[in-house]
Amino acid sequence: MASDDLHRLKARAMRGGLASLAVAALTACTSLGPFEGPQPSADEHALCYTRAAATPDQLHTTARTACGGGEVHFLKQETDLSACPLLTPVRLYFTCGAG
């Protein structure tokens, strides 16, 4: 193997390693748990989450916190990349209070 080929191989391996390191750092710093996203209306609230990382209990707890500890009424859920980030694309709509 020529010296020039070896240099290119090392450079390619270095770039791949840096890219992997960057992806690992970004995912380590990103919480995939449910969080309150943009509110659709004055009466409706919404959570953004991913099905791979959020449990039903976490969704209920986060929604209840958003309702100030009050009763939660779930309305619908859908994938909404315009309101939720790519890693947490599912949007869960709910209202608070008596039903």
Q: Which residues contact 84 (CB under 8 A, 6 or more apart)?
A: 37, 48, 90, 91
What average pLDDT score do residues 38-42 get?
Answer: 90
pLDDT tens string 44-57: 999 999 999 999 99
Residue 81: its pLDDT value, please?
92
pLDDT tens string 21-38: 444 444 444 578 899 988
* Residue 72 φ then ψ, to 5°: -115, 135
Helix-then-strand count for the chain, H and E: 2, 4
pTM of the model: 0.66
pLDDT bucket at 6, cuts 50 / 70 / 90: low
Is 70 exceeded by the pLDDT of residue 79? yes
Strands of the sheet containing 90-96, edge to edge, are 35-36, 44-49, 90-96, 72-79
Q: What is the mean pLDDT of the chain?
A: 82
